[in-house]
Structure 1
Amino acid sequence: MMNILCVAAHPDDIEILCAGTLIRYAREGHKVTFAIFTSGNMGDTSIQPEELGRIREKEARDAAAIIGANVIWGGVMDEHVFPNEEQRRLMIDILRETDPDVIFTHSPNDYHPDHRYVSQLVFDAYFQKGLPFIPGQSKPACRFGHAQLYYMDNLGGIGFLPSEYVNISDVMDVKLQMLACHKSQVEAMKALAATDLADMVSVQARFRGFAAGCQYAEGFTRLDAYQRGLTSRILP
């Protein structure tokens, strides 16, 4: 059994970009954790941030429960992710709590600054998770190095060229069921950005499926860096 961790900036990012792959891992008996770094509390023009944060946390937990995934709620203010010392300490503790074999997070060139900085924080915290004398941490060090890091597709697939794909054809219905749990975000995206999230997710998965040779797929790029190589496929 492996520990599978997805670190996303906002509630619903996981369902949009990575849920199909996580469903497959869960069905294979691996331990799956959703780490949601911000509360998503700034994503509406009428619901007050405190109330919206509560709503989005419940929606995120409801979605994760569909596949029995654990949830780590970072609670950082939405739209306020920065690669600073405080948030790096939080990210180190998130990685230590899960001791992951596989990490998924945002692509460094995604459209939203919260996505970009979460990606950087994961990269920066990668080795610190295994160093026991980092001051100010609340979690004990876990295995040094070890985890394989994958970047998720960008919203809309813009500027992203996958190097590996996961066939999610058999779990696409569950992915959409999980996305539907995020009712507040689905409604906000329709009102604020004229975007139907379910349609966007379906079209993107179908498009990636053409390259992957299946009906629906999710695309990823593996981080290739010193001490993070891999000699065999680890994606489902």
Structure 2
Amino acid sequence: MSSSLAEIPVDFEPLDILCVAPHPDDAEISVGGSLLKWHRMGQRVGVLDLTSGEPTPFGTPEIRRSETQVATKLLELDFRLNLGLPNRSLEATLDHRRAVAEVFRLTKPKVILAPWPEDAHPDHVAATQMIEAARFWSKLTKTNMAGEPYHPPRIFYYWSIHLKIQPEPAFVVDISETIDEKMRAVEAYASQFVTGRTLTFPTALDDIRDRARYWGWAIGKGYGEPIGSREVLCVNDLGAVTGLKLGT
């Protein structure tokens, strides 16, 4: 797990998927099962945390870093970096946009995962605005930004939503085989989900697992994680999409 942009070497092996999270634990809550599944399928997967996530009622920067290290190992991530931007006052400023764009230029992800843009949490809304702008900036020439010009081909959106809404996803990832590891990665953040919290059902952990069960039910599987898209997707293989055996 890196803590400085300078730690990304110029010859860094490009990522297939980079999840950008406003706070450490957002990636685990939203797409932890998917990230681990994709890694085990042979894809290079990483997380960019924008802030430390602190202060919180029962956390400290040191505790949160330790929890993040445990979660990172559980999800078998190929890359993780924290930009150290201001928690609780995250803004889509030009400086913040530049910092994210430089990570894109240095890690060259094919797919970016960002928070769903409609949310009650100001950090999440600002993060998505910043990510989308940084994706555009990443391709700019005639600039002194670190790295070479690069435009990530795709951006999708994950559910880390504080509003009680369920937007229509573009697709749902079957995480039946990784749900237990996902939950262990979430539980690694004890300062957020265990310490000082009630153990009466339903707990915050119950809610996270039950939402995954709902999305699994929606696709006829055990557990799932929804992914959104603002752009139309190309589909050629209906067998792969439906899970049905088509043809001879």
TM range (shorter): 0.7 to 0.9
Q: CA 1:195 to 1:80, structure 2 compared with 1: closer, same or farther past 3 Å?
A: farther
Q: Which runs of 4+ in 1 moved over 4 A?
A: none
1:173 aligns with 180
> How much does 1:146 deviate?
4.2
Q: CA 1:189 to 1:34, structure 2 compared with 1: closer, same or farther past 3 Å?
A: farther
SS of 2:66's partner is: helix
Q: CA 1:195 to 1:125, structure 2 compared with 1: closer, same or farther past 3 Å?
A: farther
| Higher helix content, 1 or 2 | 1
1:136-147 → structure 2 map (5 Å cutoff): 137=145, 139-143=146-150, 145-147=151-153
Unpaired runs of 5+ in structure 1?
none
2:11 aligns with none
2:42 matched to 1:29?
yes
Of 197, 206, 211, 1:190 maps to 197
Q: CA 1:66 to 1:134, structure 2 compared with 1: closer, same or farther past 3 Å?
A: same
2:126 aligns with 117
Count of residues paired in the alignment: 221
Deviation string 1:73-130 (CA, Å, 9 cap, x unpaired) is 1111210110111111111112222211111110110221111111111111112112
Aligned amino acid, residue 31 of structure 1:
R
Q: How far apart, in 1, do the equivalents of 2:161 and 2:152 lie? A: 28
Which structure has the larger Rg?
2
Unpaired runs of 5+ in structure 2?
1-13, 242-248
SS of 1:18's partner is: helix
Deviation string 1:158-186 (CA, Å, 9 cap, x unpaired) is 24221211001111001011111111111
2:165 matched to 1:158?
yes
- Give the % identical residues: 27
Of 219, 234, 240, 1:231 maps to 234
Provide TM-score, normalisation by structure 2.
0.81
Q: CA 1:62 to 1:142, structure 2 compared with 1: closer, same or farther past 3 Å?
A: farther
